[in-house]
Amino acid sequence: MGLNIAMYDKQEIFAKAVEAYNHAEDTITRIDSVFRSISGSDYDPESTLAQFDILLQGVLVSVACSDMIFDDIELQFIKNIAVHGDLFDYIRADSDGEVDLTWEVFTEAETKGQLSLVSILPQVLADQCESFVLPLAAVDFSYSRFGNLPTTPGDFLRSIESDMITIATLLAFVDDEGEPVEVNAAAEMIYALVERHWKGLIEA
């Protein structure tokens, strides 16, 4: 990351996370703009940003739960980092209200229940993963094949993933722990939610 996280207090840690979030948001907005221009689509970029928030929160939940302790400071970090979408709002809507989870209910749940949800997030969010990745991977492919910029397949993916890893690593340290298992959990969930789908489209 290039950051000495131990130097920062909790407010500074969140501020650094917001910087990474803003960078990812800007990247996604730019890619969406190119996608609309090359496809002639009236695709709404706000939906891509909302999907990013949902997937990012999925990654962050897996980080927060990986050390078996989901505490209030992690809850506030995860809720406040997202601007356009919310993981549990999506799950509630997608299940027609049958899964009526809130952040507070999830925080108070037993660890076993929290980990059970984390384990099924790649399945629960599969449709969101596909629709999030599609326009971004299309631009990634187009630029690397036909664009006038020197890019290779996966450049945009790596940029967004880097921002997600930065945010997840900062979350891992917000409770003063920063366990390696938390960063590993982030990498595994990012692969399950984003990279696997992206590479599948580019390599198809």
Long-range contacts of 190-193 (CB under 8 A, 24+ apart): 190/59, 190/161, 190/164, 190/165, 192/121, 192/122, 193/55, 193/58, 193/59, 193/121, 193/122, 193/125, 193/129
* Residue 85 confidence (pLDDT): 96
Looking at the domain assignment, is residue 37 inside a domain? Answer: yes
pLDDT for residue 149: 54
Length of the chain: 204
Q: Is residue 3 a part of any domain in this protein?
A: no
Main-chain phi, psi angles of 145, to 5 degrees: -100, -40
| Total number of domains in the chain | 1
The per-residue pLDDT string of the chain (204 residues; one tens digit each, 9 = 90 and over) reads 455 555 678 889 999 999 999 999 999 988 888 887 777 776 677 889 999 999 999 999 999 998 888 889 999 999 999 999 999 999 999 999 898 889 999 999 998 999 999 999 988 888 888 888 888 887 877 765 555 555 565 678 888 989 999 999 999 888 766 677 888 888 888 888 888 887 777 666
Q: Which residues have CB under 8 Å from 193's CB, separation 6+? A: 55, 58, 59, 121, 122, 125, 129
Does residue 2 lie within any of the structural domains?
Answer: no
Confidence at residue 36, expressed as pLDDT on a 0 to 100 scale: 79
Neighbours of 100 (CB within 10 A): 10
- Residue 114 has a pLDDT of 92
Euclidean distance between the first and the last CA atom of the chain, given in angstroms as a whole number: 31
Domain ranges, residue 144: 14-203
Q: Which of 107, 118, 116 is nearest to 192 (CA)?
A: 118
Q: Is the full-model pTM beyond 0.85? A: yes
Domain-located, residue 18: yes
Q: So what's the pLDDT on residue 3?
A: 57
